Amino acid sequence: MRNWTRLVQNEWLKLTKKRSFWVPVAMMAAIAALITFMLYKFSSTVSELGSGASYLAGMWGASGMGQFIAILSIVGTAGIIAQEHAQGTIKFLLIRSRSRGEIFAAKYAAVLLYTLMMMLVAGAALYVSGGLAFGFGSTGEQWLNALREGAYGFVYSTVYATMAFMIGALTRSTGVAIGVGLAGTMFGGLMVFKDFYKYVLFPNANLSVYSTMGPPLPGMSVGFSLIVLAVYMALFLAAGYTVFRRRDMA
């Protein structure tokens, strides 16, 4: 296990040692601050929020900044397998005394860490800017709401980052992985009012709707969505791993 965490460390360094690493991080913070400022200045409804934590609760999920967090997470991590192929470093990676499973798992762990980091950067920027705009005095209930929305936002970003991760493993193309991941986040906004659609990934990814607008389709609930999402993510990972493990690295 200790040895496996060193593989995760390797993957994390590959993501963060790039000079372009800071671009999405800075962008995330700047856009969160900018949106807060615009809302504070021009919107009449949000000024009733009263605190940074309740502002955070409204903005952290997929209905707020969540889609943007997901997009940046996808862009940051979609190349994690494809890049190794493009650089030729996949040979360097796979001729060590490590199974392909360990390496695949370490890469996925780095994807989750990156997504979590983007969530935290967004959360910090939203809370600080929201606090400055609406005051820092937050109640415990507001914090609980914020944390729940944060968790929902993390689930949302993770679903699409996992999808892009799988596509990267299947196609060895960063561009295709990013494209499919982004297309996925866009399909989330479409709604097909047929019963079968509740078993499709997209209407289930945004768990925030249950606390604001209610179930997108009859018969859906948070638990239902979580099960559907878990099944899809398991399929994505199984498909990606199967291909990665069996592929001839020529």
Which residues contact another protein by CB under 8 A? Answer: 3, 6-7, 9-10, 13-14, 17-19, 87-89, 91-99, 246, 248-250
Could you tell me the smallest distance in angstroms from the CB atom of residue 30 to another protein? 24
Angle formed by the axes of helices 67-77 and 22-42, nearest 10°: 170
Measured from the CB atom, the residue of 13 and 192 that comes closer to another protein is 13
Q: How far is the CB of 16 from another protein (least distance, A)?
A: 10
**Considering beta carbons, is residue 3 or 43 the nearer one to another protein?**
3
- Shortest approach of another protein to residue 20 CB, angstroms? 9
Q: In angstroms, give the least distance from the CB of 232 to another protein.
A: 29
User: Judged by CB, which is closer to another protein: 25, or 31?
Assistant: 25
Measured from the CB atom, the residue of 7 and 56 that comes closer to another protein is 7
Nearest to 200 by CA among 223, 231, 175: 231
CA dihedral 17→18→21→23, nearest 10 degrees, is 140
Nearer CB in complex with another protein: 17/194: 17
The least distance separating another protein from the CB of residue 45, rounded to whole angstroms, comes to: 45
